[in-house]
Amino acid sequence: MTASEREKRLRALADSVVQMDEERAVKESELALEEGIPAYEAISEGLVVGMNEAGKLFEEEEYFVPELLLCSDAMYAGLEVLRPHLPESGEGSEFRLVVGVVEGDTHDIGKNLVKIMVEAGGFEVYDLGNNVPVDRFIETACEVGAHIIALSTMMTTTMDQMPALIGRLRERGLRERFKVLIGGGPISMAYAARIGADGYAPNAARAVKVAKSLLAPLPPAERGAA
């Protein structure tokens, strides 16, 4: 298989995601395997590339929530074909992120989009759902050895859970261990700064960028440390 054929196949995988074509994503994933493209590459250089392009379109107001969800449908359909063919390294992603909607709030569409984008961004994501108490975030983060705790809320009335979590981390001497990323309707950059969060993302596409930037300065030795 020539480099250009491989290129074409990966492009087709990415396109199937950007164009929200679930069936085609499945077909292209199967073709990629048949043609000997390693599953890992088909994912990271095909499906994920497509999802990131969708994220870019989202930021440009070209795509919106429904498109992003349909793109993710296509991506997950492809992943289902490819995942069984990943080598049994036992090792997940090197970055782990815990995400959830804070206690008191049950609006989770924004959080669901963040999960999709961050997963496409190569993170291993632990989704705690909505109405999640501060301590559950922290316990899960400790258990899985997360690098980032990502919090979302749509309501001004539950925003105070965010500084509460940061305070709790400090109390337990864990503040340095996790980066705290926040977002949601009433949240702003200024609010993030005020409560001492490490990052703020105005939307799902940006969340994955901010998440990566938070980990960038981490020395390699500390990266997989649980």
Partner 1 sequence: MVGNEAGRAGRVRILFQPCGRRGWVPEGVTVLEAARLLGVGIEAACSGCQTCGKCKVKIIEGLVEREEILSSAAHCLAPSEGELECLSPAEISSGYRLACASVVAGELAVFVPEESEALAQVVRKEPRATALEIDSAVECVLATIPAQANAEEALRERLGRARVSEGGDPGAWYFHDSALRELSGKLGSEAAQASFVLAEGAEVIRVDLPSQGRRRTLGLAVDLGTTTVVGLLCDLQSGDLLAHHSMMNPQIQFGEDVLARISFAAGASPGRGEPSSDNRVLLAQAARNALNTLLRETCRAAGCHPSEVVEVTVVGNATMLHLAIGLDPTPIGRTPYQPVVTGPLSIYADLLGLEMLSCGLVHFLPLRAGYVGADTIAGILACDLEDRPGVTLFVDVGTNGEIVLGTPSGLLAAACATGPAFEGAHISAGMRAAQGAIERVRIDPESWEVKIKVIGESGWGAGEVRPRGICGSGIIDAVAEMYRCGILAKTGSFTKERRHPRLVGSGAERSFVLVDEARSATGQAIAVTAKDVRVVQVGKAALYAGAKLLMERAGVGRVDRILLAGAFGSYIDPLSALRIGMLPDCPVEDVVAVGNAAGEGARRALLDRKARERARRLRDELGYVELTLEDGFTRAFAEAMHLPHMSERFERFEESVSRLAWGRQAGAGENRVARQAKCRARGG
Residues that bind partner 1 (CB under 8 A): 59-67, 69, 103-109, 112, 130-131, 154-160, 186, 191
Phi and psi at residue 146, to the nearest 5°:
-70, 155
Q: Hey, is 127 helix, strand or coil? A: strand
Q: Hey, is 148 helix, strand or coil? A: strand
Which is nearer to partner 1, 34 or 61 (by Cβ)?
61
In the complex, the smallest distance separating the C-beta of residue 142 from partner 1, rounded to whole angstroms, is: 25
In the complex, the smallest distance separating the C-beta of residue 198 from partner 1, rounded to whole angstroms, is: 20
- Please give the Cα distance from 136 to 134 (Å, whole number): 5
In the complex, the smallest distance separating the C-beta of residue 206 from partner 1, rounded to whole angstroms, is: 12
In the complex, the smallest distance separating the C-beta of residue 146 from partner 1, rounded to whole angstroms, is: 24
Report CA 115 to chain centroid distance, whole Å. Answer: 4
In the complex, the smallest distance separating the C-beta of residue 8 from partner 1, rounded to whole angstroms, is: 26
Name all contacts of 61-66 with Cβ < 8 Å and 24+ positions apart. Answer: 65/109, 65/113
The residue type at 25 = A
Which is nearer to partner 1, 44 or 131 (by Cβ)?
131
Nearest to 76 by CA among 17, 31, 18, 33: 17
Which is nearer to partner 1, 140 or 158 (by Cβ)?
158
Which is nearer to partner 1, 28 or 103 (by Cβ)?
103
Which is nearer to partner 1, 155 or 174 (by Cβ)?
155
